[in-house]
Amino acid sequence: MGKEFAKEWTPGELMAVAGAHLIKDGDIVICGIGLPEVATLLAIYTHAPRAKILMEQGVVEPKPVQFRRGVSMGLADPREWFRAKCFTDYIDIMGTTLQRGLVDIGMIGGLEVDKYGNVNSTLIGSYNKPLRYFTGSGGANDIASLAKKVVVIMRPHELRRFPERVAFITSPGFISGKGERERVGLRGGGSWRVITDLAVLGFDEETCQMKLLAINPKVTVEEVQARTGFKLIIPEKVELMSPPTIEEQKIIREILDREGLYTGWKQAAKGS
């Protein structure tokens, strides 16, 4: 019997599903709150029950839920720690676990990402003439440097967020091409996937430049390229991103993102 897909879905739900499908059973995943967390927990609730979620502040395998009093607002919110198997610290997660090479997937966000998968979450403008500062790295630099695979989840997909070179490298991808990570001593595998509201992108093995893998079923390859500030590598066959199944959407809307804060489903329902 085939899967039953939801008839209507939001770009946020599409992104969460795309992220979840990258996680295999048994994977160790470091992620923050927002869509990365929704994607990781969705994988655990569906096809990867033995995957383990770690949070950089030291929370191991929590099962955060959205209570009636609203959603959690940060990693320090106790609602994020609900039913965790262990409470430890930054040293255990970012040091002992991540630096030993035990983390299979790290999920991070950002302001900008360039053709080599470098991520900027520090500033707009330039290093010498910044127009505005943002939150910066947190643990994202460590994750991008040391995780076996790095998934960047960001939206909206638009020209200013996909420049040829980011204004500032907060978290390294392939820096300037093949072999650069090894040259500077980074042990992790580097940027593996970029998930946006328009597409899923990967990286060419020879050049380490961004490659289009799949698109939102509601857009075209040409639209994705037009909203990207550099030339993408486009294979002959580009897949379609998988919409949420009825089961996946039910889990998102009834358990993981009841208020639609991250996936936008509640706002979309009000507007329809």
Sorted by where each starts, the structural domains of the chain and their CATH numbers stand as: 11-265 (3.40.1080.10)
The C-alpha atoms of residue 108 and residue 123 are separated, in whole angstroms, by 16
Pull the structure tokens for residue 195. Answer: 């998930």
pLDDT of residue 65: 63
pLDDT of res. 225:
98
pLDDT at position 84 is 80
Rounded to 5°, angle at Cα 67 from 253 and 269: 30
| Spatial separation of the C-alpha atoms in residues 11 and 18, rounded to whole Å | 10
Among residues 195, 151, 145, 150, the alpha carbon closest in space to that of 172 is found at 145
Q: Could you give the angle at the alpha carbon of 43 between the alpha carbons of 109 and 33, nearest 5°? A: 35
pTM, 2 dp: 0.93
Q: If we measure between CA atoms, which residue out of 141, 152, 228, 165 comes closest to residue 191?
A: 152
CB 107 within 8 Å of CB 36: yes
Bridge partners, 214 (sequence order) = 200, 239
Nearest to 230 by CA among 136, 118, 134: 118
What's the CA gap between 185 and 182, in Å, rounded?
A: 5
Q: How confident is the model at residue 138, as a pLDDT?
A: 86
> Closest Cα to residue 253, out of 54, 42, 107, 23?
42
Q: Which one is catalytic: 13, 37, 56, 80?
A: 56
Give residue 220's Cα distance to chain centre. 22
pLDDT at 210: 98
Which pLDDT score, from 0 to 100, does residue 67 have?
A: 47
Among 56, 222, 190, 217, smallest CA distance to 113 is for: 190
CA atoms within 13 A on the CB side of 107: 29
What is the model's pLDDT at position 81? 73
Q: What pLDDT sits at residue 267? A: 87
CA distance 55 to 137: 15
* CB-based contact 79:72 (threshold 8 Å): yes
Q: How high is the pLDDT of residue 71?
A: 58
Active site residue 112: no
Q: What is the mean pLDDT of each run of 10 residues along the chain (272 residues)?
A: 88 98 98 90 96 89 63 65 81 89 96 98 90 89 97 97 97 97 96 98 97 98 98 97 97 91 89 66
Torsion angle, alpha carbons of 211, 214, 220, 225, to 10? -20
